[in-house]
Structure formats: C-alpha cells, structure tokens
Amino acid sequence: MTDPALRPQLARLFTAICHGEIHGTVAASQTNISALDEVYESALAASRARGGSLTLAHSKTTF
C-alpha cells in the first residue's frame, strides 16, 4: 500500500518533495497514512529518502 503507483496522492507528495516544491507534510495522525506501523514507517522512510519530512499533529493514540 505504500507503492506510489497504488497511492497517487503519495506519489504526488514525493514528486513535490523531489522538486523542492514542498519540504514535507503534516498528517493529523499516523492512521491518516496507515493504521499499520510497518506501512507508516515505509512511507516515513520514503519521504526521508527524498529529503522530506512527515510530521504528525497527534499521536495515533490521541483519537
């Protein structure tokens, strides 16, 4: 589920990071990316590999 081909919004985010249009993104919580820790961690690693960041406004236990 972290394959950008399967998640076009994620692909657009990574492209914008690579082009320097944005430096990262903020998600309300981890579950906005994925309820599965390994999928979330994969998206976080992909963002970092492209020089971006992924910040959470709330922990996944807040909601």
- Report the b/e string of 33-52 with b at 16+ CB within 10 A: bbeeeeebebbbebbeebeb
The one-digit pLDDT tens for each residue of the chain (63 residues) are 556 567 788 888 889 999 999 998 888 888 888 888 888 888 889 899 999 998 888 865 554
* Cβ(57)–Cβ(24) below 8 Å: no
User: Is 1 within a domain?
Assistant: no
Show the domain range for 51: 8-56
pTM of the complete model: 0.72
What's the pLDDT at 30?
A: 85
User: Is 61 within a domain?
Assistant: no
User: Is 12 within a domain?
Assistant: yes
3-class DSSP state for residue 54? strand
User: Is 35 within a domain?
Assistant: yes
Report how many domains make up the chain.
Answer: 1
User: Is 43 within a domain?
Assistant: yes
